[in-house]
Amino acid sequence: MLLATPALGKTVPHIVVSTEGGSYHMELTLVLKTPIDRAWHILTDYAAIKRLNPDVQRSEVIRHGGQTLLRMYIKSCVLFICFPVTQTEAMTNHKPFEIKGTIIPVLSSFRGGFSRWRLSPTKGGTRVSFEAVLTPSFYIPPILDSWLIKSKLKTEMRTTARHLVAWAKRSHKGWGVMALGSRNVPRGPQQR
């Protein structure tokens, strides 16, 4: 999922963005001071996904043949160039607490990719790990080198983390960011 920034208090989420063969790989890890069920509810409320990423102009949840499709209309700008893109993912929820979206290329502005949220309980909260690979099918002008695109993606991920913390706090006064961490995530567009 494309994810638009001040730090979260005195700490910042662990964010990694890299490129390989025309694909963008993203990782985000943080720990929320909120129960795992609340974090799960926030992330699986697909109709309200815009609250986590302001670049999402609108979203639609389509239920078809037992599948849940999440279609997002996104406007992402780098410098003075904006990309209006459509990202449609087949969403699957796995217990315990894993959400996976697989890009549907024919309905998207991407040749392929996936997103995955993993939640796990930790002392005093919930560890949230996000991983995504996106392979754009749209033209990216050479003026926007990979450093600029990676910088934009990092900014979007910081904003998503900040919004996730804010939504967690709205439900549980006094809860918010507890700690931040990292994990090693294998790179590549393979689906797991």
- Residues 66-96: pLDDT tens digits? 789 999 999 988 888 888 999 999 999 887 8
Mean pLDDT, the chain, rounded, equals 81
Residue that the structure tokens 């001040």 belong to: 6
User: What residue spans define the domains of the chain?
Assistant: 14-179
- Diameter of the chain by CA atoms? 46
**What integer pLDDT is reported at residue 176 of this predicted model?**
40
Q: Where does 14-179 sit in CATH, by number?
A: 3.30.530.20
Q: What does each C-alpha distance from 36 to 40, 123, 157 come to in angstroms?
A: 6, 11, 20
pTM above 0.95, yes or no: no
**What is the CA angle 127-129-135, rounded to 5?**
170
- Residues 35-51: pLDDT tens digits? 999 999 889 999 889 88
Higher per-residue confidence, 176 vs 99: 99
- Residues 160-172: pLDDT tens digits? 999 998 888 776 5
Instruction: Specify the 3-state DSSP secondary structure of 44.
Output: helix
Contact 17, 174 (CB under 8 A): no
